[in-house]
Amino acid sequence: MNRRNFLGVTGLGAAASTAVAQEVASRIESPRRFIRRKEGRRPFRARDAGRRPNVFLISIDMVSPDHWHPQRSLHREMDLPAIRSLARDGVVFNNCFTTAPLCAPARAALATGRYSYITANGERAHDGHETILRSDDVIFQEYLKASGYRTKHAGKGHLGTQKFIDAFDENAPAWDRWAPPVHDDEEYLAYLRGLGVKRARYKKELFGLQQDRASRWASWGGWIEQADGNPFPLEAQYSFYLARRAVHKLDAALEGNDGRDPVYLQLDFFDPHQPFSIPAGFEKREQALRAAFKLPASFERVRRNDWRPFPDEPKIYDFYRKNWGLYRSETALDYMVANALQMEVVDRALEHLLSAIRQRGLYEESVIVFTADHGEMNARGALVDKGVYLCPDVLRVPLIVKMPSSARVQPRAVEPPVSHLDIAPTLLDIAGLEPEARLDGQSLLPCLGGNEHGDRDLFMECGWHVGVNFACAVQRWQRGGAHHLYAYNCSDAVDELYDLNSANPVNLALKPEHKALREEMVRRMGAFLERDPRWVGYWHSFRLDRYHELPKVESGDVQMFRPI
């Protein structure tokens, strides 16, 4: 079901009985258009869909499933009224996955709707790695802009300046890197001066330890105060500033518009990513969370093993444990509490934006999408942050889609698996746009309309970060039943197999009772890799490593004499 059919069924378009004929007619009548009109490049077609809704895309950075997934209990102790109100009004996808557990690769896939060639963030990539989008890539926001949307953006970029200029006629100020520009964003510093607030300093800062388990290592941030020791107010915190900036962008898009042109506004928060910056006003919340939280069992397992490597884990996990140095139980609990508080800070900032949208009379008939770029370990396995490994906690992402009220979409939870790749085709479908370029995702409009799909091939990968581990994964979902993830690590002998229905996923790959399941997932991975030439690098390694578990072939172009 495409946009025209969907709107017909929900009462916004023609009767369902004429939807097919109208779709054919729209394709004939719709002229070919171009993002680059003078050059005749990047073609697309725009269906006549009548009045198009305003669209708001809100992303947060690196959020643990503990903070949102229904299988987890921790989020029930958290105070997240804005996110929960949005979930009550929208469709919640419980099994949404990023394509990569790093910022730049994940954001590239979300924006393009395609699996990305980017496998690393820029700050640690080897010379020559692609870490930003190429100038000839197309992100979905460019199609919206070319079709008449007034496009605006606030927050984190991390995809290179060119794409933000192409899509928004500006770059995200001072912020094409992973960390927030709290010390060199001139507009933010002017904002602080306007509030009469001094710059922030830590009054309590969290640190990992080096392998001697005594020397300080990386800072994870923590609780902040003003440089003169006075409390640091919520409205001066950077996420809240970004929300206010997004409201200013919205007003600029509405000014002189009179509703003629639809608005697309994207707000990319940095929080709850560490380093944390928890302002004043959350002292009671901290006490409540400390009383409710306890360390995950997987942290205790690592502690009892004295941080020695486990034979059922790829070595990359041990490498990241050494990098983060989470050797102290009290520090691990501090991290979990700070992470949850930072999520509550984001929620307050999100409410500021949602309130502004409501006050301007836009909420009911707008599309609002809420997601994150990737997950977070949150002390599970004595790990924090994310990395180049494919544990479910770094691959799961929240996804809420609130449709216009007139579409009569029933708020509910959806279980079939979806991907970040689906956001671009969904929003383009809502806008009545059909790019001629290939998209790897699929429109979720049928699902939003009640026609839920079944299982899908979803692919995840990683490469270069603090450590190096080129790996890939696939998932398998059965309606009302099993849901598993299989990961292949190219540089390690240990596979990974996880039960995605488990609130505490552990690696099942080496357990004899799961041998048949693992073999089935190996074949599924092989079939996926073999049929798409983009994965030939993984495929050649995989078929050698798993030769005895894959279907035999009589011949093959192993030497690649034939060009792809």
What is the per-residue DSSP string for 146-193?
HTT-EEEEEE---S-HHHHHHHHSSPPTT--SSS--TTT-HHHHHHHH
- pLDDT of 155 over the 70 cut: yes
Query: What percentage of the chain has pLDDT greater than the value 70?
Result: 93
Give the whole-angstrom CA distance, residue 73 versus residue 66: 7
Q: What is the pLDDT of residues 199-252, one digit of tens each?
A: 999 999 999 999 999 999 989 999 999 999 999 999 999 999 999 999 999 999
Q: What is the mean pLDDT of the chain?
A: 92
Is the pTM of the predicted complex or chain greater than 0.75? yes
409 and 365 Cβ atoms separated by less than 8 Å: no
58 and 155 Cβ atoms separated by less than 8 Å: no
Q: In the prediction, which pLDDT does 99 show?
A: 98
**Range list of H helices, 15-80:** 19-29
238 and 348 Cβ atoms separated by less than 8 Å: no
- Sketch out the chain's domains with CATH numbers: 31-448 (3.40.720.10), 467-549 (no CATH)
Give the whole-angstrom CA distance, residue 534 versus residue 440: 12
Q: What is the pLDDT of residues 481-509, one digit of tens each?
A: 999 999 999 989 999 999 999 999 999 99
At residue 562 the predicted structure's pLDDT band, cuts being 50, 70 and 90, is confident
Q: In the prediction, which pLDDT does 111 show?
A: 97
- pLDDT of 18 over the 70 cut: no
Residue carrying structure tokens 């956001």:
423
499 and 505 Cβ atoms separated by less than 8 Å: yes
